Amino acid sequence: MSFDEVSDNLAFAEAEGFGYELWSDLDRTLAVHYGAASSSTQAIASRITVLLDDDGVWRLVYDPASISTNAQEVLDDCAILFGG
C-alpha cells in the first residue's frame, strides 16, 4: 500500500517483477486506520505489515517491517497461527 497513484504502483510492480498487486491509498484512510500514517496529511507511509485473520481481526503488527526478513516472518507466523 502506498500513497502513489494506481498507475505509478502498477508501473513499479511491473518493473520490479512483483507477482502481486500494490494498492494505492490516495486519501490515506487505510494507512491511518492501520497505523501506517498518523494523519491524512502524512507525506509517506510508515513501513509496517499488519497480519489479519479471515474475519479481519488484527493478529500481528510488524513495525518497522524489515524488507529483508519481513516476508519470511509473516509466512512463519501464518503457519503457526493458521496452520498453513
For 25-79, what is each residue's pLDDT tens digit?
999 999 999 999 999 999 999 989 999 998 999 999 998 778 889 889 999 999 9
pLDDT score recorded for residue 1: 80
In the predicted structure, residue 15 carries a pLDDT above the cut 70: yes
Whole-number Å distance between alpha carbons of 23 and 53: 19
In eight-state DSSP terms, residue 84 is -
> CB atoms < 10 A from the CB of 36, how many?
24
Domain boundaries, given as residue ranges, for the chain = 1-46, 47-84
- Judge whether 14 and 21 are in contact, CB under 8 Å: no
